[in-house]
Every structure is written in C-alpha cells, then in structure tokens.
Structure 1
Amino acid sequence: MTELTAAERSLLSRCPLLLGGDEALVLRVAGSEDAWVQDFAAGEVLYQPHRFLRCLGVLLSGQVRVTNGALSVSTLEAGELFGAAALYNDAPDYATTLTAHTPCRAIFFPQATVDRLLGEEPLLRRNYLRYLSGRIRFLSGRLQSVTQAGAEGKLARYLLANAVDGPVNISATDLARQLGLSRASLYRAFDALEQADLIRRSGKTIEVPSLPALQSVL
C-alpha cells in the first residue's frame, strides 16, 4: 500500500484506467495493498526488453521516452499508462525501452492486482479495453508511417531518438548498418534532409536544429 499526495490522486483519477471513476474508486485503487510508487532520475531506464516488471504503471510526474531500437515511438506525459505489453502474456522480452527523459515518479500495479481490479470493477474493465484499442490504432498508424517514410524516415527516427541531448557523432558506415540501409540510400536521405534544412552535417557529426521540424517528415 502506498500514500499519494492529493495532486497525485487527482492525476490518477484522470488517467485512462480511472476516467469517470468517483473519489472512492480512486482511493481504493491508489490504496491497493501491492501497489508501490517509485522515483526515477533523468536517464534512468524504467523498462527495457530484458529487464521489466509484470506491472501496469501510471506516470505521476515527468516525461518518459519510449523507443524501439533507433525508432522513437512516443513520449509519455504525467497521467499516462505504460507496461500493458508486459501483462497477460509469457513473452520473455518487453517490446520497447522506457527511459526517464526528466526526473519522474510512477505508481506500479502488479498483474495480480490489475486482474483483481478488472474483475471487480466494470468501469475499470471498460476503460482498460478502450485504452488497449487506442494503443492498437496508434501503433498501426506508426507502422504505416514506418512503411511509407523509407530511408528518410529511418534516418529521421534515429536522429529523433538520439539527438535529444545534442549532435550525434557516428560514421556513415555504422549508421547505414544500424538502419539497414545501403550507403547510397543513406546519402540520399542525408541530402533530402539537409536540403530541407532539417539536419546539418560536418564529417561524422549530425546536428538537428529543430526536433519538432524533423518529426514532421514522419
């Protein structure tokens, strides 16, 4: 059992799982015996393919970046759920890596607790199914963008995931290998993004003047 501040309980009441629930339900969920709260420093990994929890999490503060290799999937904000892909399956790996972009705080609910709450509360069950349906639509859209964007999209996604803290230093040979591209395709992608003033290159250094502008190619 864990204690949340009034602000954290208010945030929890607006998360996808508890949307529409009354204060009593929020207090009951927040006070679940096996739930716990954990703080993470910026740069700390919450979940990764070979190290994760069979828990559903709710981000209470901060931001968390979700990546899949070089692909930037999304950025989680306070009030969002994570960890659903770890529940109700026996897969030995988690699908993505979750890294604290800023100092953050999250509450975790083990699968057994989630199972009990979904069985006891129809509202939570409907909300959870609605959330999963939304994730399927989101990931389908991301898959379509990956398919359509080609070499420029692969390069843009790599830079979005790796240039957050400054310029990227990598040789064209290593980058082509990581992205699964030929050097010719990579150089064409470089040229296209440079002509659009979305990146600037000098030797092995790649600078991204504006991450939001680069995101627009996806």
Structure 2
Amino acid sequence: MAADWRGEELSLLAGTFLFRGTDPALVRRAAEDPRCTRETFPKGARLYSPRHFRRSLGVVLEGTVRVTKGRLVVSALGPGELFGAAALFHSRDRYETTLTARTPCTAAFLPQDLVEELLGESRALCRNYIGYLSDRIHFLNRRIEGLTTPGAVGKLSRYLLEEGRRGGELSCCATELARRLDVSRASLYRAFEELEAAGAIRREGKRLLLLDREGLEARL
C-alpha cells in the first residue's frame, strides 16, 4: 500500500523506464494497488530462478541484483531498473535466468494482471513497455555478439565499447568481468595488457579509461 512506500521510492518508481512521462496519478494507482507488493531480501537471496519465480514485473528500489545464466553473469541491476518481463504473458513454467541479491535489497512486484490493467489505461505506458522490451532484445543481441566474438581481446573490446557508450571511464571487478566474458582471469589480464600497450585503454587501479574507440573497434 502507498503508506508503506517512502517518498523517494515513489519518485524512483515514477522515474523508471516503465512510468517515465506518464500521469503521476498512474504511478500512485500502481503503488496503492493491494496487488503491488514491496519485499526486502538479504544478500545472497534469490529473487527469481528458472524454477521459482512469479509472474510479476519487478523494480529494484534499493541495493543491487545480479542476473546470471548458468555461470555467465548477464548483468547487474540497480535502483530503478526492471526485471521479470520474461515471466509475463506466456505459459512457460521456466524462467531463463537467476536473479540473486548482490547486496541487501528491496524490490517492488507488479503482478501480470495489474500490469495488463495499467497498459489498458495508458498509451504512454504501452509505448514505454514496448520500448523496454525492444531495448532488452538489443541488449541480448549485443551479449550474444560478445560471446561469439573470437578471443579474449575481441570480447573485452566489445564489452568496453558497449559499456563505455555513456562515458570514457569504467570500473569493474576483474573476477566478475572474466565471468561475464566467459574467459579466464589470465586471458583477461593479457587482453588488458594488449589493449593498454596499443594505447586503446589506460588502467588506474580499478578505474579504466577508454582512450581509443577506433582501436577497440579494430579488434572486433
């Protein structure tokens, strides 16, 4: 219920890709609906897994959630990011990824019947939802391209190009990055060294600066 929501949580919900540009009353309608729930999870808890999930669209309100498929780290979700769209509007009894709380976290869950009602009430929300699904398709296609790029240098270059689109600086744990790229840590470090020697990147501790995008693109 709305009484359980903090003001900053409602603002976060309103700022999600799903509700962006919609009537503020629609956001409050969704939050106040008794079918919409907020839940907290300790670090390490599973929110969704292939055999245990709910037919709800989730929103991370606090903390971070890691998305994995087998041993591959697909992504990490933070406050304001959505999950669970693949659980809606189909009859399959399996979810394709595992979502694990990377830190203690809070998430809101909008069940399928509530999402369907909201879509029927707002054309803006319909456009946002279709846009979100389209964005997920492009994201997964980029991930597939990254996995099929031969060699650790090519995989790392593609990853850096995709993740660096919003700026020239990145930060990532080497162990987690090796899992994301499905390469060994030794191969990852060699790839870093090759790109750094070529002047494409510069490492400063855990910070990574992208210096030459064309140089990275040449290694794809």
TM-score by length of 2: 0.72
Pairing 1:128–2:129 present: yes
Aligned-pair CA distance for 1:61: 0.7
Instruction: For 1:109 and 1:99, locate their aligned partners in 2 and report how far apart those are by CA, in whole Å.
Output: 19
Deviations 1:92-140 (A, max 9, x none): 2111111111111011011111111111211111110011011111111
Residue type of the alignment partner of 1:127? N
Relative distance call for 1:197 and 1:105 in structure 2 (3 A) is same
Instruction: For 1:161 and 1:92, locate their aligned partners in 2 and report how far apart those are by CA, in whole Å.
Output: 31
Residue type of the alignment partner of 1:160? E
SS of residue in 1 equivalent to 2:149: helix
TM-score by length of 1: 0.73
Aligned-pair CA distance for 1:29: 1.2
Pairing 1:113–2:114 present: yes
1:94 maps to 95
Instruction: For 1:10 and 1:95, locate their aligned partners in 2 and report how far apart those are by CA, in whole Å.
Output: 30
Q: Please identify runs of 4+ aligned residues in structure 1 that moved more than 6 A.
A: 210-213
Deviations 1:159-187 (A, max 9, x none): 42788xxxxxxxxxxxxxxx7xxxxxx8x
Aligned-pair CA distance for 1:76: 0.4
2:176 maps to 160
Preserved CA contact (<8 Å) 2:22 2:122? no
Relative distance call for 1:4 and 1:197 in structure 2 (3 A) is same
Relative distance call for 1:128 and 1:191 in structure 2 (3 A) is closer
Instruction: For 1:96 and 1:19, locate their aligned partners in 2 and report how far apart those are by CA, in whole Å.
Output: 26
Relative distance call for 1:68 and 1:212 in structure 2 (3 A) is farther
Report the identity percentage: 44
Relative distance call for 1:150 and 1:196 in structure 2 (3 A) is closer
1:53 maps to 54
Relative distance call for 1:98 and 1:211 in structure 2 (3 A) is farther
Pairing 1:36–2:20 present: no
Relative distance call for 1:29 and 1:151 in structure 2 (3 A) is same
Aligned-pair CA distance for 1:33: 2.3
Relative distance call for 1:190 and 1:84 in structure 2 (3 A) is closer
1:68 maps to 69
Preserved CA contact (<8 Å) 1:70 1:161? no
Aligned-pair CA distance for 1:78: 0.2
SS of residue in 1 equivalent to 2:117: helix
SS of residue in 2 equivalent to 1:93: coil
Deviations 1:56-84 (A, max 9, x none): 01111111011111111111010011000
Aligned-pair CA distance for 1:197: 6.5
Instruction: For 1:108 and 1:28, locate their aligned partners in 2 and report how far apart those are by CA, in whole Å.
Output: 14
Instruction: For 2:142 and 2:189, locate their aligned partners in 1 and report how far apart those are by CA, in whole Å.
Output: 26
Pairing 1:193–2:178 present: no
Instruction: For 1:97 and 1:193, locate their aligned partners in 2 and report how far apart those are by CA, in whole Å.
Output: 25
Relative distance call for 1:11 and 1:193 in structure 2 (3 A) is closer
Structure 2 unaligned segments of length 5 or more: list them: 160-173, 194-204, 209-215
Relative distance call for 1:196 and 1:121 in structure 2 (3 A) is closer
Residue type of the alignment partner of 2:21? G
Aligned residue pairs, count = 183
